[in-house]
Amino acid sequence: MDEGARPIGLRRIIQMNDVWATYGSGHALRGVSASIESGSNYAIVGRSGSGKSTLLRLMNGMLAPERGAVRVGYDVPDARGRRFRRTLRTIGYIPQNLGLVKNTTVLRNVLLGALPRLGAVQSALGRFPEGEVAEAERVLASVGLGGMGHRKAHALSGGERRRVAIARALMQHPTILLADEIVSELDPGTAREIMGLVSEAQRRTGLTAVMVHHDVSLALEYASRVAVISEGKKVLEIGVDGDSITDFQTGSQSTREAVEAYSRDA
Ligand SMILES: Nc1ncnc2c1ncn2[C@@H]1O[C@H](COP(=O)(O)OP(=O)(O)OP(=O)(O)O)[C@@H](O)[C@H]1O
Ligand SMILES: [Mg+2]
């Protein structure tokens, strides 16, 4: 395991300070600050187009802030920068479209998670060491896809594809998991099973999970903090402890209805 890349001992593993972001016209984010505790499950909810995916893209350095500061571990995210590449290896990112290679087998998709830690030669040859293959098979079994490694990714159900994406991320031995709506449009039972896999990985490895959710109930059920984004601003950040929801920004008790009102699509 690539222990050297792990930002050990940092309590706040991700920090954002008054971050503004743009894709060219208008602002996708307008002054968001956030502080994410190591090992926690941090949820982001909000209407379509509010800026949720943009927040994740800032955390893995795919997008640079127009203004303000982002810090992950001890680094400033920059996906193209040499310095951040070591940190990036330990960030498991699951994009909204999952990013699977559809015409490739499930096993190979999972093995792609190991690529960042393999040498350039091995990567170019596309051959994986036996140990990695064995691990990929173990990870597949742990997400309930044992024996399905030979299937092509395009021939899977929505729930199965999400399991493959999680398996690929776990294969990376991540310190941080950034997951963009990976449980949306699933039946509640399957969504909970997928969330269970993430929780299990968190217990086992101390992983920090930052997850964008469409469903506020799932966010409240699994996260210890829920940030509500509206029109590029963080309008609410609540701490969740059992049934008690506290508005972290004002210290007052907040209601589930308030969270839901902000995140319901107009
Ligand atoms: N590549 C891009 N180029 C231009 N504008 C973009 C791009 N990606 C996002 N945007 C814009 O930035 C804003 C925030 O987008 P973002 O994808 O972060 O929203 P979101 O909250 O993830 O929405 P959804 O729930 O639909 O996934 C939107 O107004 C969107 O149109
Ligand atoms: Mg999105």
* DSSP letter for each residue of 213-250: -S-HHHHHHH-SEEEEEETTEEEEEEEEETTEEEETTT
Biggest CA–CA distance in the chain, Å, is 57
pLDDT at residue 263 above 80? Answer: no
pLDDT of residue 2: 46
Q: What percent of the chain has pLDDT over 70?
A: 88
pLDDT at residue 32 above 90? Answer: yes
Burial (0-12, 13-18, 19+ Cβ within 10 Å), 15 = middle
1-90+175-185+207-266 CATH fold? Rossmann fold (3.40.50)
Ligand 2 centroid to residue 168 C-alpha, Å: 20
Specify the residue with its C-alpha closest to ligand 1, atom 30. 49
Mean pLDDT over residues 135-158, rounded? 95
pLDDT at residue 5 above 60? Answer: no
- Is residue 138 a contact partner of residue 149, using CB atoms and an 8 Å limit? no
pLDDT at residue 243 above 80? Answer: no
* Single-letter residue type at 153: A
pLDDT at residue 176 above 60? Answer: yes
Mean pLDDT over residues 158-163, rounded? 94
Between residues 71 and 243, the one the model is more confident about: 71
Count CB atoms within 10 A of the CB of residue 166.
26
What is the tens place of the pLDDT at every residue in 78-94? 998 988 988 999 999 99
Between residues 107 and 122, the one the model is more confident about: 107
Q: Where are the domains of the chain?
A: 1-90+175-185+207-266, 99-172
Of 30, 50, 182, the one to substitute when testing ligand 1's pocket (max ligand atoms within 8 A of C-beta) is: 50
Nearest to 195 by CA among 205, 206, 184: 184
Mean pLDDT of the chain, nearest integer: 89
pLDDT of residue 252: 64
pLDDT at residue 203 above 60? Answer: yes
Length of the chain: 266
Specify the residue with its C-alpha closest to ligand 1, atom 3. 23
pLDDT-derived band at 215, boundaries 50, 70, 90: confident
Q: Please provide residue 91's backbone torsions phi and psi, each rounded to the nearest 5 degrees.
A: -105, 115
Alpha carbon 144 to chain centroid, angstroms: 20
Two tokens at 260? 């839901």
pLDDT-derived band at 1, boundaries 50, 70, 90: very low
- 32 phi-psi bin (left φ>0, alpha ψ -120 to 50, beta other): beta
pLDDT of residue 234: 93
Between residues 123 and 111, the one the model is more confident about: 111
Half-sphere exposure of 17 (CA within 13 A, CB side): 8
Radius of gyration of the chain (CA): 18
Compute the C-alpha angle 242/193/170, nearest 5°. 100
- Is residue 162 a contact partner of residue 194, using CB atoms and an 8 Å limit? yes
What is the tens place of the pLDDT at every residue in 11-20? 899 999 999 9
Mean pLDDT over residues 43-64, rounded? 96
> Counting atoms of ligand 1 from 1, which one is nearest the CA of 50?
21
Specify the residue with its C-alpha closest to ligand 1, atom 27. 48
Ligand 1 cavity residues, CB under 6 Å: 23, 28, 46, 48-54, 96
Integer Cα distance of 13 and 33 in angstroms: 14
pLDDT at residue 3 above 50? Answer: no
Report the predicted TM-score, pTM, of the whole model to 2 decimal places.
Answer: 0.91
Ligand 2 centroid to residue 255 C-alpha, Å: 24
- Is residue 108 a contact partner of residue 42, using CB atoms and an 8 Å limit? no
